[in-house]
Structure 1
Amino acid sequence: MMNHKNRARANTGLHNKTLALIPNVRVTALVHDIDQNKYALELKFRKVGGGSESLLVPRAALGRPGDVVKDLLNAGALLPNDPQSAVGFVTDALKQPPEHEVATTRRGGWHEQGFLGRGWTTVKSTKQLRLLANSSVDECLGLTSGDLESWLNGLREPCLNSDILTVGIGLPFAGALLELAGEDEGAILHLRGESSGGKSLTGRALQSVFGRARKSDLATFDITDRALEELCFARNDLAVVFDEEGRNKGSQHQRRERRRVIAFTVPSGRGMMRSVKAAQDSGLANLTWKLFALSSGETPLDDQPGDRRVAGEKVRHIDIEIPGRETGGIFNLVEGSPEKKRREAARLAALVEDTIADNHGVAIRVFAEKLAAQRDALKERIGNIVAAFIKHVHADTDAWERRFASKFGLIAAALILAAGFGVAPVDKEHAKRCVVRVYRLARRSALSVEERTASLLQRLREAVKDERRFPKVEKGDALPTNLKNQAWGFKRTDREHGAFIAIDPVQFREMIGSGPAAESVLEYLTSKQSVILGVGGKRRRQIAVQGFDRVGRSRWICLREQSF
């Protein structure tokens, strides 16, 4: 026999089942799309089979209830079976005033003194503000897991052993400072080096600041122009990662042009400009943003001899060489033997992997809340930190140097503030040292061919004074056996060319830093008639010299003595 409580539960269950079969549509919100300045109505409806969902319809649909009925039916709404009754039912629902007002945008970041993320905001407004980032373009933005303390604890040791990882994690924080610093232009830091050195891991750690950070969550160079714009728009005032430059498709020229487009589009903060008519389509709106970015690949951005990037591209897309795996890759601060460095690097990389898998998307919220609370007061401090950084690295010599160094100065400011807010895995002093070292590494990569040549010639002037590096070996003579593993080349004089030095091409490349850069310098020296050419105008001469660890008539780069 059913008691009173069981009977009540049964009646409640029956009542709920009955309600689930009754059509219900109500206007929950008047929605203002501030990107397009268009209005819509948010309808909440009961679904066939139970449950409820929401549907957005143009506000003009108030005069076309029949169209709204079609949209609701296609979305699975429970409506009266009779078409005329369904239209009347929806017409009555549309007459009700919205329960509240909502503003929506696809642009994250700063709005009205507050910061907007997906699913959270510090913006204080009479209207609720929502971020409608395109999940097909940026599914991971705003996804959270774990907690801030676990994220900080897990990344602390890896960051203490890595300049690159520390700077990478600072990029989203730096993106949030661009607005406060009055800067319109960010930058892309390009990590390049051999595979498995930690480049992608740095990008994932960066992304864990504000969202999920799986390998598959990273964008690549294989991205359409429009998707690139939408991704940057959603990540406004944060950061974007472009992984695997090797995914860049097409001929050498096409790949180069793709890199150039990304280099100028992403930091500039503006996508393709479209006409007013085209922009009326919400999918073709003109989009703007401010952010930093990280890209990665195995080759330098100047990857072909003679393919010289202009100064404006170098300050936007900044090349940074990562140490090889044998020395720890991104974990450049690990000490010990090569074997110990490899073991420690593997352990630290696994620690990063485990940490960001379980803890992500939590740091940026705390940072944004504290930043928004002190927004106006922090503007002067940020400017002072950037100015002090520029002075510290002696970059206050000309406009380009200041512009280049200011990117790193802003990253330093971001990490210093984040450390003060308790959302950085390292303290302020470690953060500053890391940024200075990465800046210097980047500045060396940005040297022009003239600067590289001047640096090479200065080194050669010192090296030729050392008989162990460049002993005098005339025609028919052999290299002294005790210099076999010390000599970089030799000095010689002949009647046709006078005094010159011959340099091992491998040593020449190592003195300059990379193969493409070495070829550019050699081409430049040849144009200045400093190179003694071989048969057929070849820039490497065949000369047989006994005693070197080379077989037969080896090739040498021969420079006239007066050139240095």
Structure 2
Amino acid sequence: MTKGSVNQPTLPAEQVRQEAEGKGGAEGRTHSDAGLRRPLGFSVSGDGGALIEAVTPDPHPDNPSEPAIDRPSFAVHDESLMLGEKLMPPGLYWHGWGRGDDPEPIDFWICTPIHAIALTEGEYGNNHGLLLRFKTSSGAWREWAAPLSMLAGSGEEIRRELLDMGVRIDPSNRSYLSRWLMEQFPEPRMIAATRTGWHLDGKSFVLPQGTIGDDSVRYQSEHPEHDAYTRRGTLESWRTNVAEPCGDNPVLVLALSAAFSGPLLRLAKQQESGGAGIHFVGDSSLGKTTALQAAASVWGGPNYVRTWRATSNGMEGTAAALNDTFLPLDEISESDPRDVGSIIYALANGQGKQRANRAGRARKSARWRLVALSSGERSFAAHMGEAGRQPKAGQGARLLDLPVTDRAHGVFDELHQFANGRAFADAMKRATDQHHGHAGPAFVEHLLAHDRDLAEWWAGTSTLPGFQSESGIEGRAAAIFALVGMAGELATEYGITGWRAGEAMEAAIEAYQMWRRYRGDGLTEDRQILRNVQEFIARHGDSRFSAIHSSDSVRDRAGYWRDIGEERQWLLNSAGLKDAAPGFDPHRIADALDRAGWIVEREKGKRSKKVWLGGQSKRFYIIRPGSEEAL
């Protein structure tokens, strides 16, 4: 072996370790430039997933010299180097000694250049990690806060992510990378944020590609988001090509305003989790998806739009990854109608299912705050009905069905210079592909720069004449639309949208009034119960009921009927009452029947009555259903 030669490893890692301990020296030292310890901030632009700084690949120096190397040790060389008579590529190396009385030096290339520039730790003492800065094979420097838990096994998990982000790793020397990582204790300390959004009591807003505000917090994840929060074009080009053409189109203005409203949830209400959603309902091919794509461009590119085709567990992960921002969900018909109700509750409540870890202890459940914008050809209630599920009023207050296609041109009102809705939609899709990802971060920067009592403003906005409400459900809906309108007005005030002042709030008020008309008057659950009872009697009146004094045998009897003059009354037993409105408590069903005036006979203090039948007393709910028109 010649001095300075570079060999594939012939010694196991443990033997190399023992060798290093016997030799002493500078094991674990890193040969790096002091210039790497630069301020870390959002100014570094990214393509999502990790900070990335485009640089020109380092050319081979004209006269590379052999660096002074303390053996045995790890060393990172950012430029090509001479080892003996060989010109070697930049990277992380293990510099050691061979065997024998007069050992030769050995130099193992492990991977392309990589530095550990800070230790990371969660706000509650967990989620320890390393902030890594590494050079990809294309010559760009990237950063990633890597959880140390990914080294619990063979290190395969962390190598997979590094390879995916552009690091080249020698398969023969891959075990050395894990060892090097575990030996890194850089002096800088940073806070590890495992979800996007607000941290440090609203002083920092964390995104995968960087931190806005106090940059002592960094996003740390086992699987960095590569397809979310991407950026293309500039804020000015987005405003000109996307936001301004949305002007004079209330549906599009509402959609973009909804995309800005996620960061306001905590600032306006100081809530730790939760959110709300709006569901665009209308016929196909009339622009609903275009509206979602335009809204998604506030935070990212076309891939930012998610699909309803996901399990409830998968939707939890998606919501947590987009915390404090925006969740666009396209085409509700692709979801399982059996899961839609639980997904709606989860998205609005902001907390995932409680699960156990391998030891049987409760794992920390995912949490989020966000505003969702959904689309579909039918309401979520109609979709749930396919699986025989009954929507609850609470679900309708959390995902607000809003008809949007009864406009001049599908969902559009103003086409600007375009000939028809299709041409306008196509132009908008091209624009969102070329210009996206700048408006959301710019909005957050302005929020941090302007000290304002948003909670008080929101409370005042919710009481505007256009947001009047007559029930708790309407009040909740009014608050959601008011928040969306406020977000759009703030974005306009900050110079982000280019809309006229008041346009976003006008769109929000119009949407709220449309929602009220679409929903109808009265308690939604009452109407659902009454309609279910009507349909139950229509379907089963001849099979599960018989005349009150008839001797006919009826299978799975729900009750009887009797005629009083020209009026037919239905006597439902307790089982029949439950079956008539599945999913509702019997007391809740009786309340709805009572409020509607459908109960025609009762005992004092009760909604039912005992009737002598077949030699014994039986209790029934005696009702006279109203007409369909009455509902």
Task: Using structure 1 for the length normalisation, give the TM-score.
Answer: 0.65
Tell me, in whole angstroms, the C-alpha distance in 1 between the residues paired with 2:156 and 2:340. 48
Tell me, in whole angstroms, the C-alpha distance in 2 between the residues paired with 1:448 and 1:133. 49
CA contact under 8 A between 2:277 and 2:399: conserved in structure 1? yes
Q: Residue in 1 aligned with 2:512?
A: 439
Tell me, in whole angstroms, the C-alpha distance in 1 between the residues paired with 2:359 and 2:283. 44
Name which of 478, 499, 503 aligns with 1:430.
Answer: 503
Q: Residue in 2 aligned with 1:176?
A: 263
- 1:384-415 alpha-carbon deviations (Å, 9 max, x no partner): 443333x43322x4433221210001111111
Q: How far does residue 37 in structure 1 lie from its aligned partner after superposition? A: 1.2
Amino acid across the alignment from 1:400: I
Q: Residue in 2 aligned with 1:313?
A: 395
Amino acid across the alignment from 2:195: R
Q: Residue in 1 aligned with 2:205?
A: 115
Tell me, in whole angstroms, the C-alpha distance in 1 between the residues paired with 2:371 and 2:178. 47
Amino acid across the alignment from 2:454: K
What are the residue-to-residue correspondences of 1:306-345 with 2, within 5 Å?
309-323=391-405, 327-332=408-413, 343-345=419-421
Is 2:498 the counterpart of 1:411? no
- Taking structure 1 as reference, are residues 345 and 425 closer, same or farther at Cα in structure 2, changes over 3 Å only? farther
Q: How far does residue 425 in structure 1 lie from its aligned partner after superposition? A: 4.0
Tell me, in whole angstroms, the C-alpha distance in 2 between the residues paired with 1:108 and 1:174. 15
Q: Residue in 2 aligned with 1:149?
A: 236
CA contact under 8 A between 1:28 and 1:43: conserved in structure 2? yes
Q: Residue in 2 aligned with 1:394?
A: 468
CA contact under 8 A between 2:61 and 2:80: conserved in structure 1? no
- Taking structure 1 as reference, are residues 68 and 435 closer, same or farther at Cα in structure 2, changes over 3 Å only? closer
Amino acid across the alignment from 1:109: G
Tell me, in whole angstroms, the C-alpha distance in 2 between the residues paired with 1:198 and 1:7. 54
Higher mean alpha-carbon deviation, 398-407 vs 32-41, is at 32-41
CA contact under 8 A between 1:150 and 1:355: conserved in structure 2? no
Tell me, in whole angstroms, the C-alpha distance in 1 between the residues paired with 2:193 and 2:248. 40
Amino acid across the alignment from 2:353: M
Tell me, in whole angstroms, the C-alpha distance in 1 between the residues paired with 2:137 and 2:63. 22
Secondary structure of 1:31's aligned partner: strand
- Taking structure 1 as reference, are residues 278 and 221 closer, same or farther at Cα in structure 2, changes over 3 Å only? farther
- Taking structure 1 as reference, are residues 279 and 378 closer, same or farther at Cα in structure 2, changes over 3 Å only? farther
Q: Residue in 2 aligned with 1:223?
A: 310
Amino acid across the alignment from 1:422: G
Q: Residue in 2 aligned with 1:362?
A: 438
- Unmatched runs of 5 consecutive residues or more in structure 2: 1-58, 66-78, 95-113, 528-564, 568-592, 599-625
Is 2:331 the counterpart of 1:244? yes
- Taking structure 1 as reference, are residues 52 and 70 closer, same or farther at Cα in structure 2, changes over 3 Å only? farther
Tell me, in whole angstroms, the C-alpha distance in 1 between the residues paired with 2:213 and 2:381. 43
Percent pairwise identity: 22
Q: How far does residue 383 in structure 1 lie from its aligned partner after superposition? A: 2.6
Tell me, in whole angstroms, the C-alpha distance in 2 between the residues paired with 1:70 and 1:317. 38
Tell me, in whole angstroms, the C-alpha distance in 2 between the residues paired with 1:7 and 1:143. 33
Q: Residue in 2 aligned with 1:519?
A: none
Secondary structure of 2:503's aligned partner: helix
Amino acid across the alignment from 1:115: F
Is 2:355 the counterpart of 1:274? yes
Name which of 357, 360, 374 aligns with 2:450.
Answer: 374
Which structure has more RCO (C-alpha within 8 Å, separation ≥ 6)? 1
- 1:224-279 alpha-carbon deviations (Å, 9 max, x no partner): 22221121112111111111112124xxxxx1x32211211101111102246679
- 1:269-316 alpha-carbon deviations (Å, 9 max, x no partner): 1110224667989xx641111111011111123325997532211110
Amino acid across the alignment from 1:105: A
Q: Residue in 2 aligned with 1:15?
A: 81
Q: Residue in 2 aligned with 1:301?
A: 380
Q: Residue in 2 aligned with 1:58?
A: 148
Tell me, in whole angstroms, the C-alpha distance in 1 between the residues paired with 2:240 and 2:308. 32
- Taking structure 1 as reference, are residues 22 and 242 closer, same or farther at Cα in structure 2, changes over 3 Å only? closer
Name which of 145, 154, 160 aligns with 2:247.
Answer: 160
Q: How far does residue 444 in structure 1 lie from its aligned partner after superposition? A: 1.8
CA contact under 8 A between 1:314 and 1:446: conserved in structure 2? no
Amino acid across the alignment from 2:467: V
Tell me, in whole angstroms, the C-alpha distance in 2 between the residues paired with 1:439 and 1:111. 32
Secondary structure of 1:97's aligned partner: coil
Quote the RMSD (CA, aligned, Å). Answer: 4.6
Tell me, in whole angstroms, the C-alpha distance in 2 between the residues paired with 1:49 and 1:406. 49
CA contact under 8 A between 2:298 and 2:436: conserved in structure 1? yes
Tell me, in whole angstroms, the C-alpha distance in 1 between the residues paired with 2:515 and 2:223. 34
Q: Which has the higher strand share?
A: 2
CA contact under 8 A between 2:60 and 2:80: conserved in structure 1? no
Q: How many pairs align? A: 433
Amino acid across the alignment from 1:97: F
- Taking structure 1 as reference, are residues 19 and 316 closer, same or farther at Cα in structure 2, changes over 3 Å only? same
Q: How far does residue 67 in structure 1 lie from its aligned partner after superposition? A: 6.2
- Taking structure 1 as reference, are residues 317 and 48 closer, same or farther at Cα in structure 2, changes over 3 Å only? closer
Secondary structure of 1:404's aligned partner: helix
Q: How far does residue 142 in structure 1 lie from its aligned partner after superposition? A: 1.6
CA contact under 8 A between 1:322 and 1:330: conserved in structure 2? yes
Name which of 126, 140, 150 aligns with 2:227.
Answer: 140
Q: Residue in 1 aligned with 2:52?
A: none
- Taking structure 1 as reference, are residues 167 and 99 closer, same or farther at Cα in structure 2, changes over 3 Å only? same
Tell me, in whole angstroms, the C-alpha distance in 2 between the residues paired with 1:433 and 1:32. 45
Tell me, in whole angstroms, the C-alpha distance in 2 between the residues paired with 1:21 and 1:10. 18
Task: Using structure 2 for the length normalisation, give the TM-score.
Answer: 0.58
- Taking structure 1 as reference, are residues 119 and 384 closer, same or farther at Cα in structure 2, changes over 3 Å only? same
- Taking structure 1 as reference, are residues 235 and 18 closer, same or farther at Cα in structure 2, changes over 3 Å only? same
- Taking structure 1 as reference, are residues 320 and 30 closer, same or farther at Cα in structure 2, changes over 3 Å only? same
Q: Residue in 1 aligned with 2:371?
A: 292
Amino acid across the alignment from 1:110: W
Tell me, in whole angstroms, the C-alpha distance in 1 between the residues paired with 2:260 and 2:141. 38
Q: How far does residue 69 in structure 1 lie from its aligned partner after superposition? A: 11
CA contact under 8 A between 1:175 and 1:239: conserved in structure 2? yes
Tell me, in whole angstroms, the C-alpha distance in 1 between the residues paired with 2:205 and 2:146. 25
CA contact under 8 A between 1:115 and 1:372: conserved in structure 2? no
- Taking structure 1 as reference, are residues 19 and 447 closer, same or farther at Cα in structure 2, changes over 3 Å only? same
CA contact under 8 A between 1:197 and 1:323: conserved in structure 2? yes
Q: Residue in 2 aligned with 1:196?
A: 285
- Taking structure 1 as reference, are residues 98 and 154 closer, same or farther at Cα in structure 2, changes over 3 Å only? same
Tell me, in whole angstroms, the C-alpha distance in 1 between the residues paired with 2:516 and 2:432. 30
Secondary structure of 2:373's aligned partner: strand
CA contact under 8 A between 2:277 and 2:348: conserved in structure 1? yes
Amino acid across the alignment from 2:374: S
Q: Residue in 2 aligned with 1:29?
A: 118
Q: How far does residue 428 in structure 1 lie from its aligned partner after superposition? A: 2.5
Tell me, in whole angstroms, the C-alpha distance in 1 between the residues paired with 2:181 and 2:376. 56
- 1:407-445 alpha-carbon deviations (Å, 9 max, x no partner): 001111111111101112422221121111111111222
Amino acid across the alignment from 1:208: S
Tell me, in whole angstroms, the C-alpha distance in 1 between the residues paired with 2:137 and 2:446. 45
Tell me, in whole angstroms, the C-alpha distance in 2 between the residues paired with 1:95 and 1:261. 46
Tell me, in whole angstroms, the C-alpha distance in 2 between the residues paired with 1:48 and 1:356. 30
CA contact under 8 A between 1:40 and 1:56: conserved in structure 2? yes
CA contact under 8 A between 1:158 and 1:351: conserved in structure 2? no
Amino acid across the alignment from 2:81: H
